[in-house]
Every structure is written in C-alpha cells, then in structure tokens.
Structure 1
Amino acid sequence: MNLQGSTTTALAIEDESQVGHARRVSQAMATQLGFSEVDAGRVAIVATELATNLLKHAQHGALHLRAIPAQTGSGIELIAVDRGPGFDAARCIADGFSTGGTPGTGLGALTRQSQVLDIYSDSRGSVVLAQLFPRNVSACPLRFGVSQHSLKDDPACGDVWHLAVNGSQICALVIDGIGHGEDAERAGLAGAAAFAVAPFSDPTSSMQDMHQAMNGTRGGAVAIALYDAASSNLRFSGIGNIGACLITAEKSRGLASHPGIVGSQFRKAQVFDYPVEESQLLIMYSDGLQSRWNLRDYPGLVHRHPSIISTLLHRDFCRGRDDVTVMVIALETVRD
C-alpha cells in the first residue's frame, strides 16, 4: 500500500453561514471519494454537528477535512478544533447531556454516524475526530494521522509526505522543500516520486535516489523512517531539519539527523537503528512546527488517536511562517 500525501482542508467556523458551507464542502468531498448518496448524507450530518458545536461551545474554531485510506477505497476524516473552554468528553458523548441548552444529541449522533470517533479536551480547547467510510468499507488497520497546511492556504505546499506499508513493514517519508510555494512543492514532489519507486530500499539508497531526483530544484530537508514490526526495529535517516521522535506515555527519544540539503549538498546519509517498545508513537514534523513541545503536558493525549495528536500539535505549536506537516503513527498497529 502506497499512500501519497495530501494537505488538510481547513474551514473556518466563526458564524452560522459557515456551518452550511462546511456541510456542503464535506458532502462534496465524500461524493468525490465514491460515497453513495446515503453515506455522503452521513458525512453532511457529522459536519453539521461538529461545526454547530464549535459555535455553541467555543464561539469559533475550524473544521479540518482530509481523505483517508481504507482497506478498499477511501474514507473521510473530519476534525473540529478549537481553543476553549473545553468540556467533559465522557459526559457529553452520552445523549441527553448538554452544556448549551440544546437537547444534547450532537455527540451521541456522531457515534452513530461515524465508524471512528475520538475526543481530547482540556482547558486549552478541544479536538473532536470523526472518520467515516462507506457502509461496505472498513477502516485501514494502520492508525496514523497527518496534519499538513500550506502557508496562508497557498494551493502549493512545499511539504510532502508519503507512507508505504508492506506486511510487517512501514516506511514514512517527510520532505520540506526549501522555502514555500510552487518551487518548494516542485522539489518535494520530485523527491517523493523517486522514493515511491522503491520505498523499502535501504534508507541511504533512497536518500541518494531523492538527491538525484531533486537536483536542479531548490532541494529540501528529508527524513525517512523504516519500521519492521517483526524485529521491533526502526531505521531512521535524516538530512536537514525534519524533527522526529519515538514517544511512549513515560518518555520521548529524539531521532538523529545530519545537516545538509537533499538535491544540493550533503555528506552521505547515515542510518541509525532504534529499538521500538510496545505502544510507541513515531512523530515526524517539518520545521513549520516548533520543536519545544512535550506530550506529557497533555495528560492522556498519548493514548488518543494519532489524528488527534497531530491536529493538537499543529493548533498549539505551528510557527505560522512556513508550511507545516505533523505525522503521527501508532507503531503497534503495524502487524507482522
């Protein structure tokens, strides 16, 4: 399975008119992904509930949309994100509970319409995730999340990501083309295309192939993580300032990169091996995200869906002056 990266569509929810817009955009995306009229209607219901709840309880926020892989075909991911005041997710998910004077069926309705639902909320705000698939389609067993946004919603994004899965192996790629805009995107796409030809090659070989493919472009920072569940080992190679770490509930371990620009000049890529413990997360991110964050500042977040984690990190630590990508993979979902 080869998963080509795509950016996140972010819809501002600041007044009632934007609720209808969010519903229409979400339903249209579902139809484009092959959802039936009935299933696309489910997506419309979920988008409406999420957007309406943002206005009622946080006054404003955003709805993030992304196509996601399924075992066959595609699904759609909707994430409502805001900056407060937060709520008790365990109480609010039950029908009949309301903090806004309504009948209290919103979050309960989400559980009936969505195949995957997860929530994280504290005083800093809330992130509510809903994933929907056509009724005859199952979710992809690999749990991962990606939050990718171009600077100022530019149609071109200099960050590029790619995932490949083969049995017990998964290989993840993040590229940050130098700068932003079309030239940066051209550099990133050239590297990703070279990587996709043989994603499970030795990372040093993949890095060299990308170096050649990106020659003549701006070049960029590149990181490759190759994980084998059969050996519980992760091989990592990075050139430039793509951040990466392995995280459990108790600790975090950074993954080493070397300076340079792929497509321009760097010393031979070096591969580092890291043992992977049970229930470990792999997080990779471009330098559009600040590097000084700690998941332990968010009690219980490490146990939430990776899409919740990537979206929250983007919400709280986006620098706001470059394209940004945050990829989170639950490694225990890769089976041998």
Structure 2
Amino acid sequence: MNISGSVTQVLPIDDNSQVGYARRTAQKLAEAQVFDEVDAGRVALVVTELASNLLKHAERGELHLRVLPRSNGAGIEVIAVDRAAGFDLDACLTDGYSTGGTQGIGLGAITRQADVFDAYADSRGAVLLARFYPRTAKKPDLPIGVSQHSLNGDPACGDAWHVALGENAISALVIDGLGHGEEAEQAALAGTQAFAYGPFNDPLLLIEDLHRAMHGSRGGAVAIAQARLDTGNLRFVGIGNISASLISAGKTRGLASHPGIVGAQYRKAQPFDFEQVTGQLLIMHSDGLQSRWSLADYPGLAYRHPAVIAAVLHRDFCRGRDDVTVVVIALEASHG
C-alpha cells in the first residue's frame, strides 16, 4: 500500500461564525470520501464540539483536517490545536460536560463517536485527535501521523512525503525541495514519483533513482527510512537537511545525513543500520521545523498517537519561514 503525501488543511477558529464553516467543511470532506449520512454526521458533530471548545476555553485555536488513505475506505482526521492552555481535559472528558452553544455531548462522548481518539495537554496548550472511518470499511488504524504545511498557506508546498506499507515492512520518504513555491514543489513531486515505483528497493539505489528524476529541477534534501518490523532492523539514508530520530524509552538516537542536494550534486550516500527498532518511534521532518525539540520536555507525549505527536511538534517548533513537514511513525508490527 502506498500513501501519497498531502498538505494539512488548517481552519482557524477565533470567531463563532467559523464553527459552522468548520462543520460544513469537514462534512463535505467526509462525503467526498463516500462516508454515508450517518458517518458524515459523526464527523460534523465532533468538529462542532471541538471548534466550540476551542472558542470557549482557548478563545482561539485551529482545526487541522486530513484525508487518511487506506486500501479500502479512506478515513478523516480532525485535530484540534489549542495554543493557549485552554482545554481542561479532565473536565472536558466527563460525560455531560457542556460548552455554551453546543449540544453538550462533551468530549467524553466524542471518544465514542470517533473511531480513534487521543489527546495531550500541558501548560503550552492541548492537542486533541479524532479519526473516523466508514462503518462499512473497518480496518485497524495506522499508527502514522503527519503534519504538513506550506509557507503562508501557499497552494504549492515544496515539501513532500510518501509512506509505503508491506508485510511487516515500512518505507518512508521525506523530501524538502530547495526553497519553496511551485519550483520546489515540482522537484519534490518528481522525487516522490520515482520513490513510489520501488519503495522497498535498496535505499542507495533509490537515492540514485531520485537523483535522476530530480535532475534539472531545483533538487532538494532527501531522507529514506526502511524498517523490517519482523526482524526489528531499520536502514536509513539521507542527503541534505532532513532530520530524523529514533525514540525509545528515555533514549533518542539521531539518524545522520550527508551533505548535498539530490538532483544537483552530492558526494556520497551511506546507509546506516539500526537493530531492535520495533516498538520505537521514527520521527522525520524538514528544516521548516526547529531541531531543538526533545520529547523528554513533554512527559508522556511519546506514548500518545503519532498524529498527536506530529501536531504538538509543529505547534511548538515551526519556524514560520518555510514549508514544514513532520512525519511520526510508531514502528509496530501492525503496519503489515
């Protein structure tokens, strides 16, 4: 299964009128993925409650929407991002807890409306995740989270990502096209298309394929991580400034890249092999995200859903002057 990259749709929530707009936008997105009336209604109900909670408790925030491709029955992801410590999760997760102007179902009931629900809150704010899948196409949720944003909401994004899933295997790609805008996007898309032809090929050969495909474009930074979850081995190859880390209990290992620009010039690509990675987190991101983050500063965050982790890192460490992509993957055997 190949999962092609997509940019996160961001809906600012700082006015009552935006609650209705968010509800309609999410419902239309669900209907476009062939959700029936009941399932699309679940999405609309949860989005209304999340948006209303943002206004009530944080006064402003954002809803992030994404389509979740799967082999049968795409899903919808909704993430509420509070940047001002507005949510009281203990109160909000209690059934019957009500916010003004909503149906008063409370976030506790939302956990039953959504197929996947998770949350993280501290003094910096809160991030709440709800994922939905058609009732007729139930499959296990993929423990993969992505937060991708173009600079200033530009329609063109110079970052790209791609994830391929095989039997007990996963191959992940992140590309940062040089600069930003349409020419950077063209470079990145050329690389992802070449990767998709053979995502489980030897990563050194893949880098060469991407180099040829991106030749004549601006080029870009590239990182490829391939994991065999049955053996617990991971191989990583990187050219340029894509950051990557493996995170286990109390330990973070950085994955080293070599200098250069794929599609233009680089001296060498050397693979690095890691053992016993099953059960760890793989985090890859473009340099639109600051590199000084540490999950140790967020007690318990490493045990949250990868989508929550990606959203928290984007919220707190986005540089705000480039496209940004954060990919978080829990290296679990369930990928197969």
Assess same fold via TM > 0.5.
Answer: yes
Q: Which SS does the other structure have where 2:27 is aligned?
A: helix
Q: Which SS does the other structure have where 1:230 is aligned?
A: coil
Task: Report if aligned partners of 2:150, 2:324 keep a CA contact under 8 Å in 1.
Answer: yes
Query: CA-to-partner distance for each residue in 1:100-146, whole Å, 9 max, x for gaps?
Result: 79885320231221100001011110000000111112244430100
Aligned match of 1:64: 64
Aligned match of 1:172: 172
Q: Distance in 1 between matches of 2:177 and 2:335?
A: 32
Q: Distance in 2 between matches of 1:276 and 1:61?
A: 39
Q: Which SS does the other structure have where 1:77 is aligned?
A: strand
Aligned match of 2:118: 118
Shift of 1:85: 2.0
Change (3 A) 1:335 1:65: closer
Give the counterpart letter for 2:160 in structure 1. Answer: V
Change (3 A) 1:67 1:26: same
Task: Report if aligned partners of 2:165, 2:335 keep a CA contact under 8 Å in 1.
Answer: no
Give the counterpart letter for 1:228 in structure 2. Answer: R
Task: Report if aligned partners of 2:247, 2:280 keep a CA contact under 8 Å in 1.
Answer: yes
Task: Report if aligned partners of 1:242, 1:287 keep a CA contact under 8 Å in 2.
Answer: yes
Aligned match of 1:204: 204
Matched, 1:290 2:295: no
TM alignment of 1:9-20, pairs within 5 A: 9-20=9-20
Q: Distance in 1 between matches of 2:160 and 2:61?
A: 26
Aligned match of 2:94: 94
Give the counterpart letter for 1:9 in structure 2. Answer: Q
Aligned match of 1:29: 29
Identity of aligned residues (%): 63
Shift of 1:269: 1.2
Task: Report if aligned partners of 1:75, 1:134 keep a CA contact under 8 Å in 2.
Answer: yes
Task: Report if aligned partners of 2:11, 2:63 keep a CA contact under 8 Å in 1.
Answer: yes
Q: Which SS does the other structure have where 1:321 is aligned?
A: coil
Normalising by structure 2, report the TM-score.
0.96
Give the counterpart letter for 2:227 in structure 1. Answer: Y
Give the counterpart letter for 2:135 in structure 1. Answer: R
Unmatched 5+ residue regions in structure 2?
none
Shift of 1:72: 1.2
Q: Distance in 2 between matches of 1:236 and 1:295?
A: 21
Give the counterpart letter for 1:152 in structure 2. Answer: N
Change (3 A) 1:189 1:22: same
Unmatched 5+ residue regions in structure 1?
none
Q: Which SS does the other structure have where 1:185 is aligned?
A: helix
Q: Distance in 2 between matches of 1:102 and 1:66?
A: 24
Change (3 A) 1:26 1:335: closer
Q: Distance in 1 between matches of 2:104 and 2:4?
A: 39
Q: Distance in 2 between matches of 1:299 and 1:55?
A: 26
Q: Distance in 2 between matches of 1:69 and 1:182?
A: 24
Normalising by structure 1, report the TM-score.
0.96
Task: Report if aligned partners of 1:78, 1:131 keep a CA contact under 8 Å in 2.
Answer: yes
Matched, 1:52 2:52: yes
Give the counterpart letter for 1:220 in structure 2. Answer: G
Aligned match of 1:143: 143
Q: Which piece of structure 1 moves more, 137-146 or 223-232?
A: 137-146
Matched, 1:157 2:157: yes
The CA RMSD measured in Å over matched residues stands at: 1.7
